[in-house]
Chains A and B, each alone.
Chain A
Amino acid sequence: MASIDIQNVKKAYGHVQVLHDIDLQIKDGEFVVLVGPSGCGKSTLLRMIAGLEGVTGGEMRIDGKRVNELHPKDRDIAMVFQSYALYPHMNVAGNMSYSLKLRKTAKEKIASAVASAASKLGLDPLLDRRPRALSGGQRQRVAMGRAIVRQPKAFLFDEPLSNLDARLREQMRAEIKKMHGDLKATSIYVTHDQIEAMTLADRIVAMHGGVVQQVGAPLELYDRPANIFVAGFIGSPGMNFLEATYHAGGVTLKDGTVIALPAPLALADGAKVTVGIRPEHVVMGGEGIGMVAGVDLVEPTGFGIILHLSLHGLAFKVFTLDRAALSAGPTVRVAFSPQHLHVFDGQGNRCVPSS
């Protein structure tokens, strides 16, 4: 197992720069999830760590050793592909043992490594099958087996669960987490699914437009998003944003509602700000409390209810566990407590309390 150091790494295709000065230190045994929308560069970064893409600038180190120029085969990492990329002309055992064969491992050692990986993943009865005779979930397991059969320095996962159906995805997610708990292997996991990111990660790296937006523990990103992008990306349904003006002690919304803040922010009076509130933090108010919003749509999820509202002409979502919301009238009253309010400045960055 190993640490991975990414220093000032850039990637450009011709004149198009897709990754800008990425800095990331991944500790030995850590599970790091790169998350972001399509095209944010997360997969490119993973492929650069794997050695499948060249590094345009900066330095990449695995276990302290510079690997910028190293061929993938010499980096001693394992990767699980979104497409699984199983060798169709080899059976499951062949797929899992290929890397060991290439390393000229002794036959008995290969057999025992494959057997132990197979039993870990419940693949024992399938060892003679070709990939085409396997279901999606089984193929996914074989892809994982191929990665764990040798003890690589790090595991890379490139959206490994996105081809599975929802139930299987949930199950494999738990298995990956369990496997990481057992193996304590340095892992980098790419996904666009923020639930996967939240549940699996020791640390999440949120990316957007080829730039790292925030690095932190899952709950840190949820509780204290560094900017509007992270705030909107983490959490489902996504955070609501409203335009407001800052003044000492509080913010004034467009309709004149004043919300007092628990602490003054490092902002000038009269500064334009965006306030964010998560749908699950919005309180459905009784008569006389909060603001009036029109109800556009009611979505029961079983567990709770998502209300799509329009507030000051903007889309606004509320998540509530109260089934009474199902029979909401044409308008409801919404309120939110100041400690759940996120305030972002004109550049979209989180405003910190002035000290």
Chain B
Amino acid sequence: MKTSLLPTIAHRLALLGYIVFALFPLFWLLKVSVTPNDLLYSEGVRMWPSRTTWEHYSFVLQHSAFPTFFKNSLIVSGSTAIIVTICASLSGYALSRFNFRAKYWIVGLMLLTQMFPLVMLVAPIFKILTPLGLTNSLTGLIVVYTAFNVPFATFLMQSFFDGIPKDLEEAAMIDGATKFTAFREIILPLTLPGIAATLGFVFTAAWSELLFALMLINGNNAATFPVGLLTFVSKFSVDFGQMMAAGVLALIPAALFFLLIQRYLVQGLTAGAVKG
């Protein structure tokens, strides 16, 4: 079949337009991060500064608390992503495969947690965490993030498990596997794309969370990176160059993370399991 050229070109152009639109803010981040301070306001709107510099990066890395923020964020987001994914895999599997009496109510309750605007919950959570000594601590943040991400991640994982034919586990059980062996050796390997997606989703959600981090943390020691970015805003000025440099650096782990898991995100592992 001969495809005509025009629709293909139009299709590619539309995609290109969207990519430019979506990536432009990132480009601007990069551009400002390498623009020397003296050119920032003097050159007008230009796509690229006439002179570039790495001084913002070196300042951020050597003279600011950014490395601490970065490390904190990595700990919080990484731990949250792992804990949430483990919990969500188990509960998602249960919701997908088992019928139990309270299932309806548990799902309802989990949906309920997603209904409240987080702002409403900041005060009560602060009240709960203070006596436990969990404010101003990374552990506190991990607990809160985990609690808020588990329901959605559970639904996400459930839909991935739903996509795996039940026949596979039954075949495994008839082959001589216990329910748990079937889960571990047959279902889990097939859910890797789902697990990768959940990890990625939770990681980025925790990585960019500002509200709770701002409310529960004061001081630089336990601050995560979004809170840390605000230190570049002082009473009288905003240090855009350093802020953008920090932003670019903060993008790196998220980008690396997705690079690592993208293999699983795109892989259609279940192909060929059943008639297709």
B177 to A102, Cβ gap below 8 A?
yes
Complex Cα spacing A134 to B276, Å? 10
B167 to A132, Cβ gap below 8 A?
no
Q: How far is the CB of B270 from chain A (nearest CB, A)?
A: 6
A133 to B174, Cβ gap below 8 A?
no
Q: Which residues of A contact B273 (CB under 8 A)?
A: 83-88, 131-132
Q: Which residues of A contact B178 (CB under 8 A)?
A: 71, 73
Beyond A71-B178, A89-B189, is A131–B275 a contact (Cβ under 8 Å)? no
Beyond A87-B186, A88-B271, is A79–B176 a contact (Cβ under 8 Å)? no
Q: How far is the CB of A56 from chain B (nearest CB, A)?
A: 15
Beyond A83-B167, A85-B165, is A50–B174 a contact (Cβ under 8 Å)? yes
Q: How far is the CB of B192 from chain A (nearest CB, A)?
A: 9
Question: C-beta contact mask, A40-71 vs B, less than 8 Å → 1, else 0?
Answer: 00000000001110000000000000000001
- The contact sample of 20 A-B pairs, CB cut-off 8 A, is A52-B173, A52-B174, A73-B173, A73-B174, A73-B176, A73-B178, A75-B174, A78-B174, A83-B275, A84-B275, A85-B171, A85-B273, A86-B273, A87-B171, A87-B273, A98-B172, A98-B175, A99-B175, A131-B273, A132-B271
**Chain B CB within 8 A of A81 CB:** yes
Instruction: State the B residues within 8 Å of A (CB).
Output: 165, 167-168, 170-178, 181, 186, 189-190, 269-276
Q: How far is the CB of A53 from chain B (nearest CB, A)?
A: 10
A87 to B275, Cβ gap below 8 A?
no
Q: How far is the CB of B188 from chain A (nearest CB, A)?
A: 10
Q: Which residues of A contact B189 (CB under 8 A)?
A: 89
Q: Which chain A residues numbered 73 to 131 have a C-beta less than 8 Å away from chain B?
A: 73, 75, 77-79, 81, 83-89, 98-99, 102-103, 130-131
11 more A-B residue pairs beyond the given contacts A83-B274, A102-B175, A130-B272, with a C-beta to C-beta distance below 8 A: A52-B170, A52-B174, A71-B178, A72-B174, A78-B174, A84-B273, A85-B170, A88-B272, A98-B175, A102-B181, A132-B273
Q: How far is the CB of B268 from chain A (nearest CB, A)?
A: 9
B174 to A89, Cβ gap below 8 A?
no
Q: Which residues of A contact B275 (CB under 8 A)?
A: 83-84, 136, 139, 163
Ranked nearest first, the 7 interchain pairs of A and B with the lowest CB-CB distance are: A132-B272, A85-B167, A83-B274, A99-B175, A131-B272, A85-B171, A102-B176
Q: How far is the CB of B169 from chain A (nearest CB, A)?
A: 9
Complex Cα spacing A297 to B189, Å? 55
B272 to A134, Cβ gap below 8 A?
yes
Q: Which residues of B contact A103 (CB under 8 A)?
A: 176
Complex Cα spacing A133 to B273, Å? 10
Q: How far is the CB of B89 from chain A (nearest CB, A)?
A: 17
A interface residue count range (under 10 / 10 to 19 / 20 to 34 / 35 or more): 20 to 34
Q: Which residues of A contact B168 (CB under 8 A)?
A: 85, 87
**Chain B CB within 8 A of A146 CB:** yes
B172 to A87, Cβ gap below 8 A?
yes
Q: How far is the CB of B262 from chain A (nearest CB, A)?
A: 19
Q: Which residues of B contact A99 (CB under 8 A)?
A: 175-176
Complex Cα spacing A88 to B165, Å? 11
Complex Cα spacing A71 to B178, Å? 8
Complex Cα spacing A188 to B41, Å? 82
Q: How far is the CB of B193 from chain A (nearest CB, A)?
A: 12
B175 to A89, Cβ gap below 8 A?
no
Q: Which chain A residues numbered 146 to 186 have a C-beta less than 8 Å away from chain B?
A: 146, 163
Q: How far is the CB of B91 from chain A (nearest CB, A)?
A: 23
| Contact partner, A81, options B167, B176, B271, Cβ 8 Å | B167
Q: Which residues of A contact B181 (CB under 8 A)?
A: 102
Q: Which residues of B contact A77 (CB under 8 A)?
A: 174
